[in-house]
């Protein structure tokens, strides 16, 4: 977020300090302080997830964040336009899309869990378990499959 010019280093440091004191996620603090909109937080979390999974590199993430923020587009749409191969890798790594494509969850359940996750800082899978959409045991298996797909151990 700093490299994309969304927040300054001092704003991020301040948010980290507040997040520790209030036991909140850093992103939540940035939204509460008015430094990020919920949509910008979602974009940053999506970029972070793809970086963590090594689906995209930092330069692509920063460029796509800048463009998405400037034009008000979804991060995934900008990524698709910027680097189609990276976007394809990103699509195969998303738990929600895997569960939707398999018919395990409905779009409404997905949307509700995503919104709750943004508000609470909890991961999608955990929200699906708390909402009793899937069991914890099923989630564990789905996450294992997600990793195997991402690491190209299965197709």
Digit-coded pLDDT (tens) for 101-141: 899 999 889 888 887 887 777 888 999 999 999 999 999 99
CA gap 56, 96 in Å, rounded: 19
Q: Nearest to residue 79, comparing CAs of 43, 53, 54?
A: 43
Residue 45 CA to residue 118 CA, distance in Å, equals 9
Sort 145 into a burial class: Cβ within 10 Å, 0-12 / 13-18 / 19+: middle
- First vs last C-alpha separation in the chain: 33
Residue 31 phi, psi dihedral angles, 5° rounding: -70, -45
Mean local confidence (pLDDT), 31-59? 85
Write down the pTM of the prediction.
Answer: 0.61
């Amino acid at each position: 977020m700093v490299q994309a010019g969304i927040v300054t280093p001092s704003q991020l440091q301040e948010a980290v300090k507040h997040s520790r004191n209030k036991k909140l996620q850093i992103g939540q603090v940035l939204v509460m302080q008015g430094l990020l909109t919920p949509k910008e937080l979602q974009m940053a979390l999506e970029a972070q997830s793809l970086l963590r999974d090594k689906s995209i590199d930092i330069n692509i993430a920063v460029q796509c964040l800048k463009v998405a923020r400037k034009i008000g587009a979804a991060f995934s749409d900008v990524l698709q336009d910027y680097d189609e191969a990276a976007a394809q890798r990103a699509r195969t790594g998303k738990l929600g899309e895997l569960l939707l494509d398999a018919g395990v969850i409905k779009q409404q359940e997905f949307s509700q869990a995503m919104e709750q996750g943004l508000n609470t800082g909890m991961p999608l899978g955990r929200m699906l378990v708390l909402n009793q959409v899937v069991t914890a045991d099923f989630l564990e298996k789905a996450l294992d499959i997600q990793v195997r797909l991402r690491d190209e151990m299965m197709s």
